[in-house]
Structure 1
């Protein structure tokens, strides 16, 4: 058995856990880092014949609910036989004594992940148009899943979801902030005063954009799997739509530490994305400026969380050093959205 130096990963312990879970292994496990902790630590795991993906929280600087891999596992298990493509689930470990935190193992999904602007280089404008339409269609399909029939009636409380989101992200800001911000406090107060009286209920992904999907091999117009479900919940579907649109802000490049594909000028505009969603889902974008402001508020806190982990040395890999620079941009955009 091979011991690696990957932070937060013990392959010997993982081999024992998988064997005890009934997973047949063909030789020692190997690991390759996929994502170093902007959200969760994600590793490609393999033996001689099979491949899996393991996800676990970062080793420090956690924000409550933002790294809930058990939540990911539950919802992807429930979505196995729906119109939403997801990876096949393999095992969930909630015993922290195994590797220091909960972790999940799912089957590896072959396909293409478009993460950076460079990844768009070999795509035609028509490819990008078709791909983006498919992404919006899948989001609409997710929001139309009957969550009660899927066994997710107890997955959360959709009533009051937006109110709780405003309070939650304010608390998480207090937990991870590296400096005070009067503008963020002002944005939070304005959001709290303008929460819509009514909202719809659906499964929400919580982090939906192109690089949180795997495109089918050779078919950029088909999503093979939606991934990164750690912030999923039962809530207001318009929070997903607004966040997908706000990710188009060029400041998001600083959050992921590289030129993001989703911020490319080659992709459709925010107005186009919003219009396509209304036509594919049948929902109106009521109180749209509020949802755009809330999405900017959330992204400001997420960026500050990454900055916090970077400053305390809890990140793995490169590209974390400038995430904090994006925080004022998102705050400003949120305040501007509330002004209409």
Structure 2
């Protein structure tokens, strides 16, 4: 069995794609793309200029329920034809003769992913501003999804979201941490003491930021939202808080892979919140809590990625991956933000 692209049996996967009726012309080539540190993403190109995108879970041993591309397939399939811009779903296989893990094939969306400062520097300040403000508007579309119409009512629990998140990610920390960091447990306690009342249950993307959208910078539009593996049901302000967590400003002094938003033209975090409130009409008074929870969760996710890379270096993305120093920086920002928001 010949395996060229890491994590793929190219011959078997090529035969599977050829049988889907998508017009693929042999031979197919596979190339890992993106800076994603969780599910692995590949560009699939054929001899006729056709292009698709393939997703699979990370390599090696995974935590239970993590990186479920079958679940992601269900979510994206349910959103086909909705107001949420997503790729077209073309196929799913779990056949052990083809792959050692589930594979999902989807359409390729032509556009720009602003996955770092170099990509964002190609835009004008005006384009950056338009793209930035398109993100909270797109969040409004996600949070406006009718769960009954899309068949997603049973996607996840309807119990209070903050409690669910605190339980889940505290458990993930215990399973994946590489060292002791007392501030993680201290932040969990602060968050537990300050949970705001939840008034609705909506579709929550769970990982919404610049890296996970494909945009048209000329029109200032989001063409597609990708990476739905953390999607669930819960408090919509949690997604807005996550966007803020992934949106450093020039004065924050936090180095890391998500620094594009520090460039001139991108809106401030306050402007993102204002745009979301205007689009949805929701009360955003408690968004600070969800900002802190998202930073805490981001640190745990980064630590988990670090653990996977240490356990299996094949999971390393093209830009390397998180370090203990980066994780500590995110935790420090979470502690400062909690203090700024009056959480104690």
* TM-score computed with the length of structure 2 as normaliser: 0.90
What is residue 190 of structure 2 aligned with on the other side? 190
What is residue 73 of structure 2 aligned with on the other side? 73
| Equivalent position SS for 1:152 | coil
Report if aligned partners of 1:37, 1:57 keep a CA contact under 8 Å in 2: no
Q: Which moved more, 1:274-283 or 1:114-123?
A: 114-123
What is residue 160 of structure 2 aligned with on the other side? 160
| Equivalent position SS for 2:148 | coil
**Where in structure 2 are the equivalents of 1:138-217 lying within 5 Å?**
138-216=138-216
- Cα separation, partners in 2 of 1:132 and 1:317, compared to 1, 3 Å: closer
Q: Shift in Å at residue 100 of structure 1?
A: 1.1
Q: Which moved more, 1:55-64 or 1:165-174?
A: 55-64
What is residue 241 of structure 2 aligned with on the other side? 242
Q: Which moved more, 1:89-98 or 1:24-33?
A: 89-98
- Provide the C-alpha distance between the structure 1 equivalents of 2:259 and 2:333, rounded to a whole number of angstroms: 18
**Where in structure 2 are the equivalents of 1:170-319 lying within 5 Å?**
170-216=170-216, 219-249=218-248, 253-254=255-256, 256=257, 260-264=259-263, 266-312=265-311, 313-319=313-319
Report if aligned partners of 1:158, 1:236 keep a CA contact under 8 Å in 2: no
Q: Shift in Å at residue 221 of structure 1?
A: 0.6
Q: Shift in Å at residue 21 of structure 1?
A: 4.2
Q: Shift in Å at residue 60 of structure 1?
A: 2.3
Q: Which moved more, 1:270-279 or 1:194-203?
A: 194-203
* TM-score computed with the length of structure 1 as normaliser: 0.91
2:126 counterpart of 1:126? yes
1:48-100 deviation per Cα after TM superposition (whole angstroms, max 9, x unaligned): 23211001111025344441211221111111111111111001123455311
Q: Shift in Å at residue 141 of structure 1?
A: 1.1
2:41 counterpart of 1:51? no
- Cα separation, partners in 2 of 1:288 and 1:223, compared to 1, 3 Å: closer
Report if aligned partners of 1:158, 1:202 keep a CA contact under 8 Å in 2: no
- Provide the C-alpha distance between the structure 2 equivalents of 1:228 and 1:28, rounded to a whole number of angstroms: 27
Report if aligned partners of 2:86, 2:225 keep a CA contact under 8 Å in 1: yes
Q: Shift in Å at residue 106 of structure 1?
A: 0.1
Q: Shift in Å at residue 132 of structure 1?
A: 1.2
Report if aligned partners of 1:290, 1:338 keep a CA contact under 8 Å in 2: yes
Q: Shift in Å at residue 28 of structure 1?
A: 2.0
C-alpha RMSD over aligned residues: 2.2
| Equivalent position SS for 1:219 | coil
Report if aligned partners of 1:248, 1:264 keep a CA contact under 8 Å in 2: no
| Equivalent position SS for 1:83 | coil
| Equivalent position SS for 1:267 | coil
Q: Which moved more, 1:229-238 or 1:312-321?
A: 312-321
Q: Which moved more, 1:26-35 or 1:309-318?
A: 309-318
1:286-330 deviation per Cα after TM superposition (whole angstroms, max 9, x unaligned): 433321111011111011112112222242344335432122222
What is residue 83 of structure 2 aligned with on the other side? 83
- Cα separation, partners in 2 of 1:260 and 1:95, compared to 1, 3 Å: farther
Unaligned runs of 5+ in 1: none
- Provide the C-alpha distance between the structure 2 equivalents of 1:253 and 1:200, rounded to a whole number of angstroms: 35
- Provide the C-alpha distance between the structure 1 equivalents of 2:96 and 2:284, rounded to a whole number of angstroms: 42
What is residue 31 of structure 2 aligned with on the other side? 32
